[in-house]
Amino acid sequence: MLSSDLQLKLFKLFQAVAESELDLEALRLILVKEEGFSTEQVFKSLDFMDKGFITSDDIYKYMMPDEDFTPMSSYLLLKEWDLENKGKLHYQNLIKWILPANSSSPTENPGSFRKSQQILKKLLKTELTYIIQIEKLKHKLFNTKTFTTSTCFNFIDKDSIGYLTIGNIEKFLKKHGICESAYVEALLRRLDRDGDGKISYTEFINIVTPASKVYGNEENFTSIFTTSSPKTQKKRKYKGKSANNKKKKCVSESGVGKFARFLMQQILLEKEMEEKRKWLALRIDFTIGKLFALIDKHNNGAVSIKDLEESLNDLGIVPELNQCYLLFRQYDRNNDNFLVYSDFCDIFTPKTTEYSELLINRAVSNDYANSFSIETLDMIVDAFIVLLNIQSVTEELKQKLYVKSFNVQRIFEKIDMNDLGFLTRGCFRNLLRKYKYYPAERELEGVLVIYDANKDGKITYSKFVQGLCPKSINNM
């Protein structure tokens, strides 16, 4: 039996979802009648860089400078509309949420789109306001001591048929004083993700689980639009987040704790490089093939350390001592002292799916190195500066990590809690959770490739040592 407190919290959550959908439906009706409205124009106004789809970055950019639209909140709004769970919206996905219920795509209204744009922004703002409100109600429900998803679901599904129907939802709402059928219709419209007219247990889990339990907190999210455009950025030396940035409260720290902090710092470095990859992926004249051709100026199909240094010099970059060497030690998978095209793909392909697909799907008539625009070349230079300096910062962190008391084998055994003889993604994630750090999946993936060179998902002790040991020539 569900306690009266839990029943009330679950009801308030359902009520908020229904009322938000009714209010949003009223705004959709206003929007489609507004001067200059067309679904195509709505899509184009949101689709920054004319990619053919909309990402959370696009929503964040479109709503600037509204402070409620952060990288995380924009992502939550996108996920609310992203029924296919692909991290992006194509035209057909978007119009489902822009048009009123049971409405076909209307013809274009004559006039300027400016007034329609004001209503569109109001719709997005209202949508986000309700998402934030509903998240608070989810947390109240989720944090109740007696809460479990199954007990709440079974309480409404009194006939034990395995899903929630219009009938049992109506009974639950009527018990708490709501009798209008419009509420039930609004609830189903919002919560029935697959459109089969009922709410499955999986859909119910999504309804009651707070987003922070799935995606982590705000610091796990970034956007390529949080900083100024690379065109206007001054070149700077990357300083990174060194271990000495903050004074530690603890004088002594376990080896496992030191490694966990080192791993967090690696993830922060990887996040910065990922932003550079995403910026490049948005450039319509950029492909990794053209970038490789730019660096492989002798057309050998492989780049040596000397080739890389010469090509970087041509771009106006003078690498510091050992930076190119360190880069090779990380990305030269077969240790032949050459980087090939596939290695460049590892370096410059974004881990974020919607951006990597831009590169994969981009049709290119040739791979001539000299066909980059000036703006794209500036971004390439900026990416290389960050990439090279990350090598130096990481090496410095490794050297500080390796003190006499640092026992790599002991740390490996501690992380391998199930005595598998190798480490998995889950081992690293569990370690970080102990220290209250919850990286996004793609952020963790970007760091694990350092330890898992052949990408078989199993990090043996030898691979762990190879990924963790300092690599500078002076220490070999």
Q: Note whether 159 and 301 are same-domain residues.
A: no
User: Is residue 229 included in any domain, yes or no?
Assistant: no
User: Is residue 246 included in any domain, yes or no?
Assistant: no
Q: Note whether 193 and 294 are same-domain residues.
A: no
* Boundaries of domain holding 150: 4-208
Closest of 321, 342, 318, 322 to residue 332, by C-alpha? 342
Q: Could you say which of 208, 226, 243 is where a domain stops?
A: 208
**Amino acid present at 13:** L
Is the predicted pLDDT of residue 403 greater than 80, yes or no? Answer: no
pLDDT value at residue 216 = 67
- Higher pLDDT residue, 122 or 96? 122
User: Is residue 16 included in any domain, yes or no?
Assistant: yes
Q: Identify the weakest region by mean pLDDT among 168-177, 242-251, 314-323, 422-431.
A: 242-251
Q: Note whether 194 and 261 are same-domain residues.
A: no
Q: Note whether 296 and 435 are same-domain residues.
A: yes
Position 164 confidence tier, pLDDT thresholds 50, 70, 90: very high
Averaged pLDDT, 281-296: 91
Q: Note whether 198 and 297 are same-domain residues.
A: no
Q: What is the DSSP letter of 199?
A: E
Q: Could you say which of 208, 242, 273 is where a domain stops?
A: 208
Q: Note whether 314 and 178 are same-domain residues.
A: no
Question: Phi first, then psi: what are they for 163, rounded to 5°?
Answer: -155, 165
User: Is residue 236 included in any domain, yes or no?
Assistant: no
Is the predicted pLDDT of residue 409 greater than 70, yes or no? Answer: yes
What pTM was estimated for this model as a whole? 0.60
pLDDT value at residue 148 = 87
| Average pLDDT of the residues of the chain | 84
As a whole number of angstroms, the distance between CA 423 and CA 463 comes to 10
Residues 192, 207 contacting (CB under 8 angstroms): no
pLDDT value at residue 105 = 67
Is the predicted pLDDT of residue 253 greater than 80, yes or no? Answer: no
Is the predicted pLDDT of residue 55 greater than 50, yes or no? Answer: yes
Number of domains forming the structure of the chain: 2
Q: Could you say which of 208, 242, 267 is where a domain stops?
A: 208
Q: Note whether 192 and 282 are same-domain residues.
A: no
Q: What are 16-45's pLDDT values in tens digits?
A: 999 999 999 999 999 999 999 999 999 999
Q: What are 178-214's pLDDT values in tens digits?
A: 988 999 999 999 998 888 889 988 788 888 988 877 6
Could you list the beta-strand ranges (E) of 239-320: none
Q: Note whether 30 and 179 are same-domain residues.
A: yes
- Bin 50: left if φ > 0, else alpha if -120 < ψ < 50, else beta: left
Q: Note whether 413 and 271 are same-domain residues.
A: yes
Q: Note whether 299 and 191 are same-domain residues.
A: no
Residues 6+ apart with CB under 8 A from 130: 16, 20, 23, 24
